[in-house]
Structure 1
Amino acid sequence: MLVGDGSHSRAGGSKWLVAEVDESDGSLLLHHPKRAIVTNIELDHTDHFPNVEAVQALFAEFIGKLPADGLAVLCADDARARSLTTPARKVTYGFDESADYRCDESRPFTIHHGGRAIGRVNLRQRGRHNIQNATGAAAMALEIGVHFEEVASALERFPGAHRRLELLGLFQGAAVYDDYGHHPTEVRATIQAARELRHRIPRASRTRLASARATSPTGCPTARTSAASRTRARRSRTWLDLTTCSC
C-alpha cells in the first residue's frame, strides 16, 4: 500500500502489471512473470522455512522458471540473490562495484551504468536500503526501454510505502513515525534511515516500573518523560513510554 492511497492496488492504463509477490508460504511459485527483481534472500517466516537454504531454494525455483526472453534483476550486494541462475537474461544492481547498475550514497544519488554516470535521482525516502531498492526499480525500467528522465521523475514523486518509516504527524513537537519492520535486517535498516531524519525523533521503549525515572530509558540526559507516563507506570508493571530527544 502506498502512502496516501488507502488501497493495496492501483489501476493504470498501460500494458504492464507490477506486483510484489510473497514468499512467506511458498505461494511465490504461483506467479509466472516474464521479468522479476530479487532484492535479497534471508531466513524469515520460520514457521514455513526450516533454514535459509530452503528460502534460497524457493527463489532459485522461481527465478529458474523465467523464460529465456525474460529478465532477472538481482541485487549485487546480496550474495544469495546474486548467485541465482536463470535461463533469462540477468542484470545486477546495487552499491557493489560489480553491479551493472551501480548506485552511490550521495543525496541526490547517482546511478552508473556501462562505466559512466547516467543520471541522478532525488529520492524522498531516507536510508541506504531505499537507494538500493530504487536502483533495482530503475534498472528494470531502463532495461525495458523507459527513459532515465521518466524513471528519475517517477522515483522523485514516489510517496513511500505504508508503514515503512511513515510520518504520522507531530506529538508535542516530535515527529512520530510508523514502521512495520520486524526482521533484524529490516529493523537495522530502519534505525539507520531514522538517523538521517532532521526531526526530533520519538523513542518508544518498554520498561519496568523499577526503572521509571524522569530521563529516557536510554539514558539520554536531554530526553523528558511526561508526568502522565510516570503515573501510568505506577499503575502497570510495563508500559509504552514515549519520550522526545534532541540528540
Structure 2
Amino acid sequence: MHIHIIGICGTFMAGLAVLAKELGFKVSGCDAKYYPPMSYQLQTNKIECFQGFDLANMKTNPDLWIIGNVATRGMPVIEKIISDKKNYMSGPEFLSKKVLNDRPVIAVAGTHGKTTVSSIITWLLECADIKPGFLIGGIPMNFGISARLGKSNSPFVIEADEYDTSFFDKRSKFLHYVADYVVLNNLEFDHADIFDDLDAIKMQFHHWIRTLGQNTVIYSNCKSNALDDVLSFGVWSKVKRFNDKQQLCLDWPHKNGESSFQVFNGINKLGFVDSPISGEHNASNFLVAYGIASEFGINFNQTVRYFKEFKGVKRRLELIAIISDIKIYDDFAHHPTAIKKTIEALRNTSRKKAGTVELNRLIVVFEPRSNSLKLGYGKQQLPDSFEAADIIHVYDGSVKWDVKSALSNLGQKLYVDNNVQNILQRLLSQVCRGDTVVFMSNGDFQGILQAFVEALGLKKFHR
C-alpha cells in the first residue's frame, strides 16, 4: 500500500513516515521546504519527497493521502484530492489506527519540554531492555532517529502535541491518543494562530482527559496552576504529582555541582543526580521521566545510571562546535518561557552573572519565527527572557511588529536587523575567545549557524 504525506518534513510527519515505512508501506511525501534534522532523516530512509503542494503530487497516485496541518483548502493538491474523492486521513489518526492500537501508550504533553521528556523516558526504557517504540518531535541523539516501532507490544512513547490535527479536524492531536500513562509537564498560552486564549487550550486538555480510562496514570506538574485548573474540570484517571513536596520533588541546585540535584519522594531522599543536561527545567524533566520509568519497574538507582548516558536531543541546547574556545549551541526555543530557561541554563554553565567583564559572555542570536511571535503574542515577555544574556541579536525580517521598541529595555546589548548577513558579520566582529553563542530558531534561520561555524573556523584570534 502506498501512502503520500502532505507536510512530510514537519517533526511529526517525518517521524510518521519512518514508522509507516517500517510497517511495510511505500511512502512518499511533499512539503514547501526541507531543512535539518528532518530532511536528513527522510533522505537517510530513502523516502521520496516532492517540493511544494501543486498537482505534480497527484502523479504519485497513492492509495491513501496523509494530510498534515500545514495543508489548507485552496492548495491545488488538496482541492484535487477532495474533488476526486480520494482516500485521506490525518497523521494522528493514522498513528492511532496503525501503530498505537493494542500497545501501552505513554503520552507526553505540555507547552514546553515534550521532546526532552519523551526522549529521556524512551532512553530509560531502552536501557532497561524494554525496547520501546516512539515518535518524538526531535531526534534523540542516543537513537539518531525521531521514530521507530520498537518491540511488538512494548510501550510506545508519543509526544502529545496540543496543536490542531488538520484542516478537517480542528481537535488537538493528542485527542487521537488513548494513553495509559500521561505526562502533563506545564501549560502556558501558545499557538496564537489557532487558540484565542489559554482557556481554549485548557479545554482541549480537558477534552483529552475525558477520554482516558480509570487505569490511566497521569503525572501532573504541581508548579502549573493552569494544569491544576484542567484537572479541576474533572478527571477519571489516577493522578500523581511531581514537583510536589508530598510526592516526587527535587532540591535544585545542590552544592555538589551546577547540574547536580537531590530527588525526594515525600520526605524520603532517593539520592543524587548528576545531570548530563543543564538547567533546572531539565532536572524537572528528569523527575517526571523517572516517575514514568518507575511504573515499569525501573528503580531510582537504575534510572540515575541510565540517565548519565543520555546524550540529549538535536536542536535542544545542542553543542554544535567549540572553535577557539568559543562554544556554539543550536536551540529550538521559540516561546518566551523556553527562551528564558535555556539562557539561564547556559548562564549556569558559563558564569554566574551577566555584565561581568572579566568573565565570559553569553551571546544570543534569535529568530522570532513561531506563529505566536509573528503575531506579536509574547513580545512583552521577551526582555525578561533575554535578561541574562550579554549580547542579543534579533532578526526582525519575519515579523510586522517593532522589535526594537518591544525590546528597548535591553539597551545597548540589543542589536536588531532584517538582514541575516548583516547579523552574521556583526557577530563575527564581536565574538571573542571564551564566549558562548546560542542560535535560537524553530526553522533553519537561513543557514546562519552553519555560516558562522565555517567563518569562525577561518578567523584568527589574538592570544
Any idea what the Cα deviations from partners look like across 1:84-127, whole Å, max 9, x if unmatched? 14211111112x435x1001112421111132111222211111
Instruction: Look up the match of 2:62.
Output: none
Pair 1:51 & 2:208 matched = no
Pair 1:148 & 2:293 matched = no
CA distance in 2, matches of 1:144, 1:236: 48
CA distance in 1, matches of 2:175, 2:395: 43
TM-score normalised to structure 1 length:
0.80
Instruction: Look up the match of 2:423.
Output: 239
Instruction: Look up the match of 1:223.
Output: none
Pairwise CA distance, 1:137: 0.8
AA of the residue aligned to 1:113:
N
- Matching residue within 218, 225, 228 for 2:413: 218
- Matching residue within 329, 340, 364 for 1:177: 329
Instruction: Look up the match of 1:77.
Output: 223
Pair 1:38 & 2:197 matched = no
Pairwise CA distance, 1:206: 4.2
Pairwise CA distance, 1:10: 4.0
AA of the residue aligned to 1:78:
S
2:178–2:212 contact (8 Å) kept in structure 1: yes
TM-score normalised to structure 2 length:
0.44
How large is the Cα RMSD of the aligned pairs?
Answer: 2.7
- Residues 170, 72 of structure 1: alpha-carbon distance in 2 compared, 3 angstrom cutoff: same
Structure with bigger gyration radius? 2
Instruction: Look up the match of 1:103.
Output: 250
- 5+ residue gaps, structure 2, are 1-138, 165-171, 352-359, 366-392, 397-411, 436-463
- Residues 129, 236 of structure 1: alpha-carbon distance in 2 compared, 3 angstrom cutoff: closer
Instruction: Look up the match of 2:73.
Output: none
The size of the alignment, in residue pairs, is 223
1:37–1:136 contact (8 Å) kept in structure 2: yes
Quote the sequence identity (%). 25
1:36–1:63 contact (8 Å) kept in structure 2: no
- 5+ residue gaps, structure 1, are 209-216, 220-232
Pairwise CA distance, 1:218: 2.1
Any idea what the Cα deviations from partners look like across 1:31-74, whole Å, max 9, x if unmatched? 11111001011111111111000111111221232210110000
Pairwise CA distance, 1:143: 3.3
Instruction: Look up the match of 1:168.
Output: 320
CA distance in 1, matches of 2:349, 2:178: 39
1:206–1:238 contact (8 Å) kept in structure 2: no
Q: Give the helix-richer structure, 1 or 2.
A: 2
Any idea what the Cα deviations from partners look like across 1:132-188, whole Å, max 9, x if unmatched? 111011112223432112211222211111111100002332000000101001101
Instruction: Look up the match of 2:6.
Output: none
1:175–1:202 contact (8 Å) kept in structure 2: no
